[in-house]
Amino acid sequence: MNRLFALNRWLGWLTLSLLAAALWLVFTAPVDYQQGNSVRILYMHVPSAKMALFVYIALTLFSAWHLWKKSETADILAEASAPVGAAFALVTLVSGSIWGKPMWGTWWAWDARLTSMLVLLILYMGVIALRNGIDDPIKGGRATAILAIFGAIDLPIIHFSVSWWRTLHQPPSFGQASTGSTITGPLLPPLVWMSVAFIFLGTYLVILKAREIRGRKILENLETERTSHA
């Protein structure tokens, strides 16, 4: 793990330069003929939505790995993933909201994707709260891992039922805008670059957080050793 932490510094610089390059592309891209400059929010919104989901998949895999092999590394990585994923989910919701006000005329709509993302954010917060709530780190780690796996099973059901609910109930009034308006031409490269930069950003943040958690664990172990000797 220490080697990973050592490499992370370079990953950080790489992320920063990728983000800078992607941002430059974002601001030099032409404006959308309908949305004007608001379209630029999309370059942050779409990658963070992807990352919010992607980090949850990683969290599930770390959790399964932890349950199966009792690996402490997997436990630390799972603990580190949750806040990073929550941050991406929050960025997605907030940026979507800011974009939604001028485009849809409303900050929020109970659309299938919005609702699923909100549930994902609450789920992340639940995973974080459960771990913080249990004093015994071994029990807490195991309970959190099981919760994360159950969340992963539940998320497709949530998405499915919510989109079903919204389509059976009333057709979304902004169908054209929300159901994947195909993006082409000069607007595409900044999105691709931004997505790559966000993947690096997510990885960097998770490793950074993992380093902090491991440091804390080492410190706690020293503390218990010291008090037991005294």
Partner 1 sequence: MGGTQPVLKAIYRLAWKDVMADFRHRSTFSSMLFFSVAVLLVFQAAFEPDPREAQRLVPGLLWTTVLFTTIMGLGRVFQSEEENGAFEGLMLAPLPRGAIFFGKWLGNLTLSLMVMVMLVPLTLILFNVTLWSHVPMLLFLLFLGTMGLTALGVLLAAMTQTARSRETLLALLLLPLVSPLLIAGVQAMAVVITTGDLSGPWLNLLLIFDAIYLALAPWGFGWLVEE
Question: How far is it, in rounded angstroms, from Cα 225 to Cα 228?
Answer: 5
Beta carbon nearer to partner 1, 147 or 199: 147
Residues 199-219: b if buried by 16+ CB within 10 A, e if exposed = bbbbbbbbbbbbbebbeeeee
| Residue window 46-85: x/- pattern of binding to partner 1, with contact defined by CB under 8 A | ---------------------x------------------
Choice from 3, 33, 157, 227 touching partner 1 (CB under 8 A): 157
Choice from 77, 123, 194, 205 touching partner 1 (CB under 8 A): 123
Beta carbon nearer to partner 1, 107 or 165: 165
Choice from 16, 21, 94, 130 touching partner 1 (CB under 8 A): 130
Choice from 11, 21, 158, 213 touching partner 1 (CB under 8 A): 158
Question: Which residues, other chains included, contact 166 with Cβ-Cβ below 8 Å and sequence gap of 6+?
Answer: 110, 111, 112, 115, 172
Question: How far is it, in rounded angstroms, from Cα 156 to Cα 81?
Answer: 20
Beta carbon nearer to partner 1, 21 or 152: 152
Q: Does residue 164 interact with partner 1 by CB under 8 A?
A: yes
Question: Which residues, other chains included, contact 86 with Cβ-Cβ below 8 Å and sequence gap of 6+?
Answer: 121, 124, 125, 128
Minimum Å gap between C-beta 96 and partner 1 is: 19
54 within 8 A of 203, measured Cβ to Cβ: no
- Return the closest-CA partner of residue 100 out of 201, 172, 171, 191: 172
Tokens of 223: 């503390």
Q: How many residues does the chain have?
A: 230
Q: Does residue 171 interact with partner 1 by CB under 8 A?
A: no
Q: Does residue 129 interact with partner 1 by CB under 8 A?
A: yes
* Chain positions contacting partner 1, by CB under 8 A: 67, 119, 122-123, 125-126, 129-130, 133-136, 139, 142-143, 146-147, 149-151, 153-154, 157-158, 160-162, 164-165, 168
